[in-house]
Amino acid sequence: MRTSLIAGNWKMNKTASEAAAFTHELVQRKPASPSVEIVIAPPFTALDSVRRALGTESSIGLAGQNLHWADSGAYTGEVSAPMLKDLGCRYVILGHSERRALFGETDEIIHKKLATAFRHGLKPILCVGESLAQREAGQTTQLIAQQLRGCLAGFTPTHLAMLTIAYEPVWAIGTGKAASPEQAVPVHQTIRLFLQNEWSSAIAQETRILYGGSVTPQNVSSFLASEEIDGALVGGACLQVESFVTIADLAQKRTGH
Ligand code: PGA
């Protein structure tokens, strides 16, 4: 049984003080639930204030939004896995489409970052997804397999046990035009089949696959109604406590706890 995961990707939003105020409110509103895992990914500059605001008791997990593949060195402006670990991160988002499109990240680069995350015991949330042109050209399945192969080739079952995948169609991110569950579910099945063929049916059954792209309190239940969809990677709707908590509550209802 896969535990549902609701992850909030703050992107480049909130100063450290805004993040602390948000997190204090979130902790008050969101009691721990064993059935749904909640993770938030603030900007690097807010990780410390969010960690302090979460306190030692909170079950809400912290994620980085990116990392550099090297552990340290002359990489001006970059942040390493040990730095994220030291600030309490358990997760890291890798291969987000904004990183791919705006910062030139290729599957090869993402593969290196995944290897670093695994080596340091940071659980990666690997994003994959097609553009509108690729979907319209009927290339979605092929593109997703290509991204998965490029990012994950050579990793072992032990690595895969740490992995979460987020299917995020590029055309749905930040557009208010979420995919329909009818569009998303077959892609989730494609991803699971890929995992089964490349590794094993146990890996395919155990790996969480999230949906991301314009997830809101209004549409999240339609995604979670499918057993194929193990949670959501939420951007815009995670920036207000109210909508993020509502999404987490709806995920909790799904599991009946
Ligand atoms: P969105 O972003 O919910 O604002 O579409 C999702 C994401 O980029 O992960």
Atom of ligand 1 nearest to the CA of 214: 5
Per the CB < 8 A criterion, the answer to whether 187 and 223 are in contact is no
The larger pLDDT score, comparing residue 31 to residue 189, is at 189
CATH number for the domain spanning 27: value is 3.20.20.70
User: Catalytic: 57?
Assistant: no
Tokens of 252: 């909790």
> Which residue range is the domain that position 137 belongs to?
4-255
* Count of domains forming the chain: 1
Q: What is the pLDDT of residues 69-80, one digit of tens each?
A: 999 999 999 999
User: Catalytic: 96?
Assistant: yes
Within 8 A by CB and 6+ apart from 85, the residues are 120, 121, 122
**How many A from CA of 175 to the centre of ligand 1?**
9
Q: What is the pLDDT of residues 182-230, one digit of tens each?
A: 999 999 999 999 999 999 999 999 999 999 999 999 999 999 999 999 9
Instruction: Quote the radius of gyration of the chain (alpha carbons, Å).
Output: 17
Hey, what's the torsion of the CAs at 248, 229, 184, 127, to 10 degrees? 80
Nearest 5°: phi and psi at 214? 55, 40
CA distance 20 to 208: 29
Confidence class of residue 33 from pLDDT cuts 50, 70 and 90?
confident
